[in-house]
């Protein structure tokens, strides 16, 4: 039996060698190897996709689904540490996110110092773009990019070497901020805004660095954007750049000469259609005066750095820097009295917007009085809903400008 087996094995080897010895046989073996490699790659991609889906399902099973008008449901879920899925009256998902159990000034947010600019230059959440299309308000340059629907939001997905420009209405000022959400993997995402391309900012799954004028600062994230979305925030003041991933400052770069122009170049550098990099909710804001200087000069100042949970008056922890600046201003000027005004855009029901704006103004007053001991008699509140727009509600920039808390000197 062993002898017969050896003969069969030897015969197979001879046949294989004979096949390889001929050009046709070698070609056939090469084709089979290529097919096998392709199959293995496809299996790996499929396995990674399945693992990602499983992780998403695990999170979804623990999530709480709340109507956008049900503030009590949202607050209860957040206090329990559950992810929240927010739906409209028809049951469509309009918001989501991990529970924000922390309040302003707590945990890592206590040292969070990012304050967005006070004037809107560009905003795009891709809500007006069709799934499968490239966003109309961006300038396509190269690559394979399209709008996709994921977790109830629109994202720009890049399957490889995607490059685009963000055209701005003016040259970037001395102080400005950039914000966006990012998730996925690939080569480092690149951003630059100099007139002659001087200086580049690089962002990958867990770190960031920059190169400009012989300087190359580096920093790491405490989150991994390959596994879950993170909010990237960039603050530029002259040649000084700070970058934040969620609540953590990841890059602190002085003397970074990256120039200025009226456009921002972005290279997304996703891996593939199966493993893309995606970004969402782009915001570019111009910086300005301190709150006190603006209040003295104009009698009122609009803030863009106070955030609330969707459909709620619950202050989000990333509001910390702006709230602290208001508190410091009131402590430094004990005779100053202000009215806190809440404003919304025109999305939704006007009466609901009015009530929500009143509650949000009251929430800011309560924070200042409770957290910092500011005399409540120095603080008045009023909500205006969508009745006093400062921007065009038909444009993303206008709606962003209209969603604000204003301080008025009394």
pLDDT band at residue 309 using 50, 70 and 90 as cut-offs? confident
SS3 for the chain, per residue?
CHHHHHHHHHHHHHHHHHHHHCHHHHHHHHHHHHHHHHHHHHHHHHHHHHHHHHHHHHHHHCCEEEECCCHHHHHHHHHCCCCEEEECCCCCEEEEECCCCCCCCCHHHHHCCCCCCCEEEEEECCCCCCCCCCCCCCEEEECCEEEEEECCEEEEEECCCCEEEEECCCCCCCEEEEEEEEEECECCEEEECCCCCCCEEEECCCEEEEEECCECCEEECCCCCCCCCEEEEEEEECCEEEEEECCEEEEEECCCCCCCCCEEEEECCECCCCCCEEEEEEEEEECCCCHHHHHHHHCEEEECCCCECCCCCCECHHHHHHHHHHHHHHHHCCCCCEEEEEECCCCCCHHHHHHHHHHHHHHHHHHHHHHHCCCHHHEEEEECCCCCCCCCCCCHHHHHHHCEEEEEEC
Give the model's pLDDT for residue 1: 46
Give the model's pLDDT for residue 20: 45
Is the pLDDT at 46 greater than 70? The verdict is no
Mean pLDDT, residues 354-372 taken together: 95
Total-model pTM: 0.71
Asked if residues 318 and 181 have their Cβ atoms less than 8 Å apart, the reply is no
Is the pLDDT at 164 greater than 60? The verdict is yes
Asked if residues 285 and 176 have their Cβ atoms less than 8 Å apart, the reply is yes
Choice among 84-88, 200-204, 276-280, 360-364 with the minimum mean pLDDT: 84-88
Length of the chain: 410
Give the model's pLDDT for residue 7: 45
pLDDT band at residue 15 using 50, 70 and 90 as cut-offs? very low
Give the model's pLDDT for residue 387: 96
- Please give the Cα distance from 326 to 123 (Å, whole number): 25
Mean pLDDT, residues 236-263 taken together: 91
Mean pLDDT, residues 121-146 taken together: 96
pLDDT band at residue 152 using 50, 70 and 90 as cut-offs? confident
Domains defined along the chain, listed by start: 2-61 (no CATH), 64-97 (no CATH), 119-286 (2.60.120.200), 291-409 (3.30.1330.60)
Averaged confidence pLDDT in the chain: 82
Is the pLDDT at 187 greater than 70? The verdict is yes
- Please give the Cα distance from 378 to 383 (Å, whole number): 17
Give the model's pLDDT for residue 369: 96
Between residues 329 and 64, the one the model is more confident about: 329
| 300-303 and 338-343 beta bridge pairing | unpaired
Choice among 134-143, 226-235, 334-343 with the minimum mean pLDDT: 226-235
Is the pLDDT at 27 greater than 70? The verdict is no
Give the model's pLDDT for residue 18: 45
Is the pLDDT at 317 greater than 80? The verdict is yes
pLDDT band at residue 100 using 50, 70 and 90 as cut-offs? very low
Q: What is the pLDDT of residues 52-96, one digit of tens each?
A: 444 444 444 556 777 655 655 665 665 555 666 666 555 655 555
Mean pLDDT, residues 7-36 taken together: 48
Between residues 260 and 60, the one the model is more confident about: 260
Give the model's pLDDT for residue 177: 95
Is the pLDDT at 372 greater than 90? The verdict is yes
Give the model's pLDDT for residue 274: 82
Give the model's pLDDT for residue 225: 85
């Amino acid at each position: 039996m062993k002898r017969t087996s050896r003969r069969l094995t030897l015969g197979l080897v001879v046949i294989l060698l004979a096949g390889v010895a001929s050009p046709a046989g070698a070609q056939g073996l090469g084709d089979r190897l290529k097919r096998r490699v392709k199959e293995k790659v496809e299996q790996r991609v499929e396995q990674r996709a399945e693992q990602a889906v499983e992780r998403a399902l695990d999170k979804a099973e623990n999530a709480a689904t709340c109507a956008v008008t049900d503030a009590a449901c949202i607050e209860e879920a957040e206090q329990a540490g559950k992810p929240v899925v927010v739906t409209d009256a028809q049951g469509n998902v309009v918001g989501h996110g991990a529970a924000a159990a922390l309040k302003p000034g707590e945990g890592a947010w206590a040292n969070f110092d990012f304050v967005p600019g006070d004037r809107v230059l560009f905003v795009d959440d891709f809500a007006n773009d069709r799934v499968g299309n490239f966003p109309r308000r961006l300038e396509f340059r190269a690559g394979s990019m399209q709008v996709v629907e994921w977790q109830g939001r629109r994202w720009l997905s890049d399957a490889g070497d995607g490059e685009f420009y963000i055209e701005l209405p003016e040259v970037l000022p001395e102080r400005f901020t950039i914000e966006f959400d990012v998730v996925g993997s690939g080569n480092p995402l690149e951003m630059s805004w100099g007139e002659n391309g001087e200086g580049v900012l690089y962002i990958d799954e867990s770190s960031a660095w920059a190169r400009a004028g012989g300087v190359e600062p580096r920093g790491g994230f405490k989150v991994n954007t390959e596994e879950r979305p993170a909010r990237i925030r960039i603050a530029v003041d002259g040649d000084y750049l700070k970058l934040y991933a969620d609540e953590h400052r990841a890059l602190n770069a002085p003397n970074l000469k990256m120039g200025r122009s009226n456009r921002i170049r972005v290279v997304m550098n996703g891996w593939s259609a199966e493993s893309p990099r995606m970004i969402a909710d782009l915001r570019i804001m111009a910086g300005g005066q301190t709150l006190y200087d603006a209040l003295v000069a104009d009698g009122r100042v609009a803030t863009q750095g106070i955030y609330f949970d969707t459909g709620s008056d619950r202050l989000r922890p990333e509001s910390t820097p702006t709230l602290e600046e208001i508190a410091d201003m009131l402590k430094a000027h004990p005779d100053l009295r202000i009215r806190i005004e809440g404003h919304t855009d025109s999305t939704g029901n006007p009466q609901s917007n009015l009530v929500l704006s009143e509650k949000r103004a009251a929430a800011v007053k309560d924070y200042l009085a409770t957290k910092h001991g500011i005399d409540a008699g120095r603080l008045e509140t009023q909500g205006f809903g969508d009745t006093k727009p400062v921007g065009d509600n038909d444009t993303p920039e206008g709606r962003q400008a209209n969603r604000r808390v204003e301080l008025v000197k009394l």
